[in-house]
Structure 1
Amino acid sequence: MSAAATRPRIGTGGMSIEASNFSPHRSGFEAFNFTKDGVLLSRYTVLAPEHENHDASVADGATWVPLVHARSLPGGMVEPVVYETLKAELIEMIHAQGPFDGFFLDIHGAMTVVGRQDAEADLTRAVRAALDETSAKAGAPRTLISATMDLHGNVSADLVENCDLITCYRMAPHEDEQETKTRAMANLITRLVDGTGAPAKAFVRIPVLLPGEKTSTRLEPAKGIYEAILPIEASEGIVDASIWVGYAWADEPRCYATVVVTGDDAELASAKATELATSYWDARDDFEFVAPAADLDTCLAAALAPEAKRPYVLSDSGDNPTAGGSGDVTWTLTQLINDPRFAEGGPRTVVASVFDKDAVAACFAAGPGSAIDVPAGALVDHVHSGPAMLMGTVLQLTEGDATSGRVAVVKVGSIEAIITERRKPYHQISDFAAAGLTVTDADIVVVKIGYLEPELFELAADWMLMLTPGGVDQDLIRLGHKNIERPMYPFDTDMVAPDLSATLFPAIPAGT
């Protein structure tokens, strides 16, 4: 398409979830929010005129056609009927509303579907085929696909081959989510307006699989490795450079770290992809947890020390619902309830959370201030622990929010245990406020998370990461991966250095 032509018409859609293979939870229709029309487009702040991230060159640089997108909180593997329903609807809408000049594919990269392998590549192949069919039928040029992903996605050569442009976040925590989506959109518009077609793609598989809690870009070596992307991206002949850490709680052959560099200078793209991959491989032994990490007893000793700063935040990492944990493992809560240091008069300790609709109903039936004796949690994940026995007082009852449903807080000794009707991560101060609690004056706050999201990071006077059991256990060795390609670090620490030369997917000229 020439600069004088009308602005390109770009379709958008996709499916996004992080899905743990090691959690008994299954993500059905209830887990997903299906969006279309303006609601879908409202996901992208760059398109919103009233938002500070608005960029007219992107918003007005194309005609954006929303198709369908499905998004879920991280959880267990996706039920096949959910995936097939989304895929069929998306393909049908491409055929009905195509052809398109470009397609913005919004995926996560860590979606595992029960009984399937490499779901994102399968979805991308289907989108690619539908776009090609509609273009051919209309006698239109080949549609360019630009994919945006989480850096915790697992990227196969198959996925890369079926995308024309591909990029991912460069920050963990993901403070650059919208910036990344904007970059993927802008790169797509530029290629369409300039008529430069699809650039070459240099792909390198790195046989390293690490949890996100060891690869935060707040710390070295990830900080420096990701900072090295910017001068590469600014090089003449390069469009984008990306590094994927991968998703450690999936169990598929595509689970590994990845580098993809795209550009019109194929030789330079290949060299820079190998350069980035080598820096990641060379640093494999240097990655450390984002905070002091230890077992529960060690973390409690630190949090209860007289000199400990308040509030002291403890990350219950094994059941992090935003990494794929079920969100109802009660192992930590039960340990605290049985610990005499948390009897009445002990440190005020807020524990978030487990979900159990019946337990919440029992608390509402009893009423505020009432004595309660109710089991809670372990309805989905009863592998790691049974229900927590809450024998105490109903402290708070609220309507919660759209994610949690109704919320009950039960006081057991000095513990304030948050029970929700539905899976709910507690990562913002407003989450606790919706439960009727103030946490700025708590002694200890226990949250199901890995590295702390920005508001929790600001809240914490000090914190530790607890190495607790669950569907997203940080101890990858004891999880029992069976389908990853070996050798792989850290499973095979004595493995020989891998070949990190790039696989090159050649450029595809416009009009092909």
Structure 2
Amino acid sequence: MFLMRPDEKGVTPLKVFVAGALHESHSFNSVRTPLSAFEDAEPGSILGQPGLADTRTTEGGIISAARAFGWDLCFPFFAKAAPSGPVAAAAYDTLLARLLDELGKAMPVNGVILALHGSMFAENCPDTEGDMAARVRAVIGPDVPLALTLDCHANVSDLMGQSADIITSYRTTPHTDQRETAERVARLLDDAMHSRSAPHCHVGRLPMMAGLDMGRTVDPDGPMARLHVRARQIEARDPEVLEICLNAGFYYGDIAETGPSVVVIGNGDDARFQQIADDLILEAWETRDYFSLSFFTGPEAVAKAAADRPDPGAGPMILVDFTDGPFGGAHSDGTELLDLLLKADLPGTVIGPILDPQAVTDAAQAGTGATITLAIGGKTDPTYGGPPVTVTGQVSALNDGTYLRKGAYLTGSTGRMGDSACITSGNCRIVIISQRQQPEDREQYRIFGIDPEQANIIALKGQNHFRADFEPIARELVFVDTGCLVAVDYTIFPWSNIRRPIWPLDEVTLPSR
């Protein structure tokens, strides 16, 4: 926890401006992300939310820290959208205009926090976070400290490092430390505003677009976890190293600076801080081909599930449709596992959530208890995920898809899947949603009357975050490659903007040091 500052009578509180704009943009997803996809994007949408300060979220951590430090907080919006294709030009222009307009109205300020993802790309701006940071810097001038919070799947650009004084990222995957990250950036900013430090960013990067096992920290012996141990040792040994920020990168961004990075925040601009960043990214390079997951094809995964004879109470076998995970930027309406599991009709099978607004509408019109035939999934781009699957079943539940997160990920905050339906067909229960959302919390199933702990098989679409709440109950995780957009073979994409040569697309030999 951060330390509360003592009250100072007669001292004007420091004014801190905060805004958020978070989106992970998959360059090869053909669907552009409109402004309407962003929640909490309207000015005035944050500080009035009851209980937000108590949630395990970035915005909750910032609000709580601001109260402890006695800041005068100006926090107009925290726009966030589920990962998908690049942000539409009009949407980015609007978000940027709102950011600069709200900042202009708040001026003068003593400090700024921008809560970003680090891998948002727009049609008209490949480095949106660098652009936003640079635009903010132009408004506040060179002396007001600017801090960025990022997802650890950020592609940190040179412009981000040049514009910001402080950068810090989540240290866990699944991202269960968003609140701690916010509190950490608040401490760093408070020290800078009180001239207790003079933070400066130093970015280390090598010609690699992948590495650090996609940032996973569930294995304490994995490269990301081990590099964090090294980083914390360096911070403890050298008090002038204010923060070491490790980023695995987002591998589906076709921009020049895609890939892992290390950002060292030094107390001042000293060459030794850059050397630390360069040494740590070299350690990441040396483990670049480590990948902790192995994959089954769809038929192999379903055959494995069919052959399994679990003990009572063993928990579900979770078939993870990795390449169609919505929070990797995939469409989340791929149908291969749906088709295979319907044909297998294994007892206790739960499938979804699957994105299909039209199927939800059709189910709602039929009503709870009705028997209906639906074409489910495969409507966005069948190239990545297959065609729709015809399903005949009973509409067993309908709701608005709203749930309260009770697991370790974003605890206490509200999740939304939009209007939703559950269809029962044979032994299979299929959850269909109208708003793209990742599987992240068991409450997403309980609102349909499904007890995840009692399921035999759960087929869900995800990469990492589901593990925080589902891995503890799973008898086994089976990762499946169904040929969708979050591909593990990066060579399938038509890269045009990424820097070359770059590993693993090219043979790369580093110069001797």
Q: Tell me the equivalent position of 2:408.
A: none
Residue 104 of structure 1 and its aligned partner are, at CA, apart by 0.7
Q: Given the alignment of the two structures, is residue 321 of structure 1 paired with residue 323 of structure 2, yes or no?
A: no
Residue 366 (structure 2) pairs with residue 366 (structure 1): yes
Counterpart in the other structure of 1:387: 388
Q: Which runs of structure 2 are paired with 1:22-421 in the superposition (5 Å)?
A: 22-33=28-39, 34-37=41-44, 39-40=46-47, 45=54, 59-132=68-141, 142-194=143-195, 196-197=197-198, 199-210=199-210, 214-219=214-219, 220-234=222-236, 235-264=238-267, 266-289=270-293, 292-308=294-310, 310-337=315-342, 339=343, 341-342=344-345, 346-384=346-384, 385-401=386-402, 403-421=416-434
CA contact (8 A) 2:16 2:109 kept: yes
Distance 1:170 1:476 in 2: 25
Find the aligned partners of 1:168 and 1:44 in 2 and give their Cα distance.
20
- Deviation (angstroms), 1:294: 2.1
In structure 2, relative to structure 1, the CA distance for the partners of 1:217 and 1:466 (3 Å cut) is: same
Cα distance in structure 1, aligned partners of 2:84 and 2:53: 23
Q: TM-score, normalised by structure 2?
A: 0.86
Residue 448 of structure 1: how far off its partner (Å): 0.7
Q: Secondary structure at the match of 1:158?
A: helix
Contact 1:356 1:419 in 2 (8 A): yes
- Aligned-residue Cα RMSD (Å) equals 2.6
3-state SS in 2 of match to 1:19:
coil
Give the distance between the partners of 2:165 and 2:138, measured in 1 at CA.
13
The offset of 1:177, in angstroms, is 1.1
| Cα deviation 1:76-121 (Å, max 9, x = unaligned) | 2111111111111111122222011110111101101123211111
Amino acid corresponding to residue 237 of structure 1 in structure 2: E
Structure 1 residue runs of 5 or longer lacking an equivalent are 133-140, 501-512
Who is 2:498 aligned against?
484
TM-score (norm 1): 0.87
Deviates more, 1:158-167 or 1:4-13: 4-13
- Please say if residues 211 and 285 of structure 2, whose CA atoms lie closer than 8 Å, have aligned partners that are also in contact: no
Contact 2:161/2:202 (8 A) holds in 1: no
C-alpha distance after superposition, 1:214-264 (max 9, x if no partner): 431122122111221112222121111111110011111110111111112
Does the aligned pair in 2 maintain the 1:77–1:114 contact within 8 Å? yes
State the shift of 1:9 in Å.
Answer: 1.4
Give the residue type in structure 1 aligned to 2:490. L
Q: Which runs of 5+ in 2 are unaligned?
A: 1-6, 403-414
Would the aligned equivalents of 2:397 and 2:422 in 1 still touch at CA under 8 Å? yes
For the structure 1 residues 30 and 382, does the alpha-carbon distance in structure 2 shift closer, same or farther, using more than 3 Å as the test?
A: farther
2:477 and 2:55 mapped to 1: Cα distance?
A: 35
Shift of 1:189: 0.5
CA contact (8 A) 2:116 2:149 kept: yes
8 Å contact from structure 1 (residues 352, 447) kept in 2: yes
Residue 312 of structure 1 contacts residue 443 of structure 1 at CA under 8 Å; is this kept in 2? yes
Query: Do residues 468 (structure 1) and 482 (structure 2) align?
Result: yes
Conserved in 2, the CA contact under 8 Å of 1:201 and 1:262? yes
1:310-362 deviations in whole A, cap 9, x for unaligned? 4100111111112212222223212333x3x22xxx32211112232332222
Find the aligned partners of 1:53 and 1:121 in 2 and give their Cα distance.
21
Amino acid at match of 1:22: F
Calculate percent identity across the aligned residue pairs: 25
Match of residue 507 from structure 1: none
User: RCO higher in 1 or 2 (8 Å CA, sep ≥ 6)?
Assistant: 1
- What aligned pairs does 1:424-463 form with structure 2 within 5 A after superposition? 424-451=437-464, 452-463=466-477
Q: 1:378 to 1:246 in 2, by over 3 A?
A: same
SS of equivalent residue, structure 1 residue 485: coil
Tell me the residue number matched to 1:137.
none
Q: Aligned letter for 2:480?
A: M
Indicate the residue corresponding to 1:18 in structure 2: 24
- Is the Cα contact below 8 Å between 2:89 and 2:123 reproduced in 1? yes
CA distance in structure 2 between the aligned counterparts of 1:155 and 1:271, rounded to whole angstroms: 17
**Contact kept? 1:76, 1:326, Cα under 8 Å:** no
CA shift digits 1:35-76 (9 cap, x unpaired): 54472586655999xx89986686334222113331112222
Tell me which moved more, 106-115 or 434-443. 434-443
Matched length: 479
- Give distance in 2, aligned partners of 1:445 and 1:350: 5
Do the aligned partners of 2:212 and 2:223 also contact (CA within 8 Å) in 1?
no
Q: Distance in 1 between matches of 2:37 and 2:90?
A: 13
Residue matched to 1:138: none
Kept in 2: contact 1:371–1:394 (CA 8 A): yes
Where 1:394 maps in the other structure, the secondary structure is strand
Contact kept? 1:148, 1:181, Cα under 8 Å:
yes
**Partner secondary structure for residue 27 of structure 1:** coil
